[in-house]
Structure 1
Amino acid sequence: MKKLLGKAFAGVDWLGLWFAMLGLRLLLGWEFFESGLEKFRGENWFADIQGRFPYPFSAVPPDISWQLATGFELVGGIALVLGLGTRFFAVSLFVLTVVATAAAHWPATWVTLADLAQGYAITDQGHGNFKLPLIFMAMLLPLMLSGPGRLSMDAFVRRRTIG
């Protein structure tokens, strides 16, 4: 029985090497691409919230911030789906998400942890809505620390160049 379980877990481990990060990459890639597409098609509202951007991002003009965010979400979303430059784009999108959380999703005022906890929501009811960005940051961590997995362009390039 122990050998049988060992073989079963070895098979699951092997599948994990190929597919575990794929789900994260596909979901995050789609979500960031969709957000970038919305910015690309929409109006720049960063001037309204630039004062809430953490330094040094608050020093960047809103038009440039808008273009950078849009570009990183579009290109980074596609790159995550392909698994190309995964760690670079995971870190970039993580930083972008931290800035977005601070500027747009964090509660404007809170005094107690109970006040802050009200912002752990998907819908903003005047208390912030940092649940989804926090989930995205948690999902980006494995991609930053472990890479894209074997079913990725990064792994393909690595196999072809390193051997």
Structure 2
Amino acid sequence: MYNSTFTPLQNAFAQLDRLGVWGADLPLRLFLAWEFFEAGLEKWNGQNWFAELQFPFPFHLLPAELNWQLSMWVELIAPLLLLLGLGTRLASAMLIVLTVVAIAAVHWPAHWSSLAELALGYSISDHGHGNYKLPLIYLIALLPLLLGGAGRLSLDARLRRRV
């Protein structure tokens, strides 16, 4: 609603505030759903390469095939939940665990002896120093959904209103 005592810029920000209450989380949910679902489809259509990896505790206790199946199904189901805004905090938590395990098993540099050397892995290319930049971006993008839930444009919110 327009308020004549506000400047045009203040009115614009007031409109953005109203829009943000409804849909600030939606771009994160769409982005993350696309990225993780795409990774799940790659696993669905690909060959299991997890036997070559060293997984962190407790996943190192599981067979590579089970780890492959777990990660594939989390990457297929959790993004659909994010898209719908259904069980958003649980889906975000599952994707955070998956991403932390992926960083530890795949993206973290195998050998580093200084922070400067570790920082070389903060990239989106693999030059032998690791490649943890993109998974770190995913972790940071998942945090608001874990902490704040899906927002008003979600099945979570609709279900809460019915209870």
Give runs of ≥4 in structure 1 deviating > 6 Å.
none
1:82-101 pair list within 5 angstroms: 82-101=84-103
Residue 72 of structure 1 is matched in structure 2 by 74
Residue 31 of structure 2 is matched in structure 1 by 27
Q: Structure 1 residues 8 and 57 mapped into 2: Cα distance closer, same or farther (>3 Å)?
A: same
- CA offset at residue 9 of structure 1? 3.6
What is the TM-score when the length of structure 1 is the normalising length?
0.92
Render the CA deviation track for 1:23-55: whole Å, top value 9, x for unaligned: 000000010000000001101111110xx2110
Cα distance in structure 2, aligned partners of 1:54 and 1:28? 24
More helix by share: 1
Percent identical among aligned pairs is: 57
Cα distance in structure 2, aligned partners of 1:124 and 1:160? 49
| 1:147 aligns with one of 146, 149, 153 | 149
Residue 43 of structure 2 is matched in structure 1 by 39
- Kindly tell me the number of residue pairs found equivalent between the two proteins: 159
State the Cα RMSD in Å: 1.6
Residue 108 of structure 2 is matched in structure 1 by 106
Cα distance in structure 1, aligned partners of 2:11 and 2:162? 29
- CA offset at residue 58 of structure 1? 0.7
Where does the alignment leave 5 or more consecutive residues of structure 1 unmatched? none
Cα distance in structure 2, aligned partners of 1:24 and 1:105? 22
